[in-house]
């Protein structure tokens, strides 16, 4: 227990607590065995439960397995600058012949990205996250990077994007992370990003369409379209079309579209039930910021569903995600009224601060 506590993983089941004089160890290939120091013997079965166990999953992020000069395996926690001969995964062992687990909800509204990815090795996977310099996008990109993926932060502001890259590297110096320019309000920029990405000759396993704007006054992009519609939906639609061939070649691959429950409070059809294109990119007289946001999120849902129908037979799945009720981020920066509303609602929402406060447990 003292060794587990040193590794920061002392949350064990009392049934599995070892009798005095016993020690739990692991082999190089991940099997658990037990040493009885009193009788000077070892065995595979737990001395109390009689079960055989093995290590579950990969090392927590920040940990690395190394071998000393005597050939003995030890573990380095680069985050907290400490070393131990005890495998930190001993807190996550599973039975050799586990029974079928009961169905239950593993995650809830307060679950963080780091908790969902815990124990997964994403080495060799390539991930693109739009709008990844802050908020949900940054947490998503960081979580992927800290679990071994090669992550590209696709952002409009390269200064902030490079700062985000530095923050991730500050947590894990071996993270494979870089920034690339992507301005969803300019379709030419989307095209240039796709060309630059393809020039890297790498796969694309996950594309997270996260970037969005909210509460903007009516403006037109250089392409002549209403800004909220183009940034939140059309720019991502175009990006996926341009990278579709790479996604299919990289299958199994996935597209994740960050949408919102607010899509339920609008429609894009006219009174006869037909698609009204004027509602997608409205004129100044017909514009309302909240309604424009809701409609862009509805477009996200429809796009994701149709993309999944077309590409899932080729190994590319698509999911639309609601990130949480009024999650507090910089999304509301467009107008002071929305900033005030988000501030008042903050105590009742899922926030980035909750995510940050949990990082110490790994």
Binning the chain into helix, strand and coil, the percentages to the nearest 5 are 40, 20, 40
In contact, 109 and 74? CB cutoff 8 Å = no
Catalytic residue (choose from 34, 85, 287, 293): 293
Distance CA 328, CA 25 (A): 44
Question: Which distant-in-sequence residues (6+ apart) come within 8 Å of 28 by Cβ?
Answer: 73
293 is catalytic: yes
Q: Distance from CA of residue 28 to its chain's centroid? A: 30
In contact, 263 and 232? CB cutoff 8 Å = no
Give the helix/strand (H/E) hosting 128. Answer: strand 126-130
Q: Which two tokens stand for residue 246?
A: 């790479």
Report which DSSP code applies to 124: T
Give the helix/strand (H/E) hosting 115. Answer: helix 113-117
Distance CA 107, CA 209 (A): 22
Place of tokens 């995650």: 107
Burial class (CB in 10 A: 0-12, 13-18, 19+), 313: exposed
Helix then strand count (H, E) for the chain reads 11, 14
Q: Which two tokens stand for residue 192?
A: 């240039």
Distance CA 270, CA 280 (A): 11
In contact, 255 and 318? CB cutoff 8 Å = yes
Catalytic residues: 293
């Amino acid at each position: 227990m003292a060794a587990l506590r040193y590794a920061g993983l002392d949350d064990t089941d009392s049934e599995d607590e070892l009798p005095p004089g016993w020690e739990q160890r692991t082999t190089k290939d991940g099997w658990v065995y037990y040493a009885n120091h009193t009788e000077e013997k070892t065995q595979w079965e737990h001395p109390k439960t009689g079960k055989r166990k093995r290590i579950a999953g990969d090392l927590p992020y920040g940990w690395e397995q190394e071998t000393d000069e005597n050939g003995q395996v030890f573990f380095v926690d680069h985050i907290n600058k400490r070393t131990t001969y005890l495998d930190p995964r001993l807190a996550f062992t599973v039975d050799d012949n586990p029974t079928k687990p009961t169905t239950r909800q593993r995650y809830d509204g307060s679950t963080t990205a780091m908790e969902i990815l815990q124990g997964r090795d994403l080495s060799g996977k390539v991930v693109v996250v739009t709008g990844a310099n802050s908020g949900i996008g940054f947490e998503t990109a960081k979580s992927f990077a800290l679990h071994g993926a090669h992550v590209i932060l696709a952002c409009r502001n390269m200064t902030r994007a490079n700062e985000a890259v530095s923050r991730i590297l500050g947590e894990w110096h071996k993270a494979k992370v870089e920034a690339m320019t992507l301005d969803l309000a300019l379709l030419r920029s989307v095209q240039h990003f796709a060309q630059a990405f393809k020039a890297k000759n790498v796969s694309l396993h996950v594309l997270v369409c996260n970037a969005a704007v909210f509460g903007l006054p009516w403006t037109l992009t250089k392409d002549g379209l209403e800004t909220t519609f183009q940034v939140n939906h059309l720019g991502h639609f175009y990006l996926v079309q341009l990278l579709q061939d790479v996604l299919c070649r990289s299958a199994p691959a996935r597209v994740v579209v960050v949408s919102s429950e607010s899509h339920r409070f609008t429609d894009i059809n006219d009174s006869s039930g037909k698609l009204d294109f004027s509602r997608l990119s409205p004129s100044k007289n017909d514009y309302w910021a909240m309604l424009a946001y809701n409609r862009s999120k509805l477009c996200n849902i429809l796009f994701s569903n149709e993309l999944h129908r077309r590409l899932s037979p080729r190994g590319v799945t698509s999911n639309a995600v609601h990130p949480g009720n009024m999650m507090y981020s910089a999304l509301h920066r467009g107008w002071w009224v929305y900033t005030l509303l988000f501030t008042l609602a903050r105590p009742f929402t899922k926030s980035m601060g909750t995510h940050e406060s949990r990082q110490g447990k790994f």
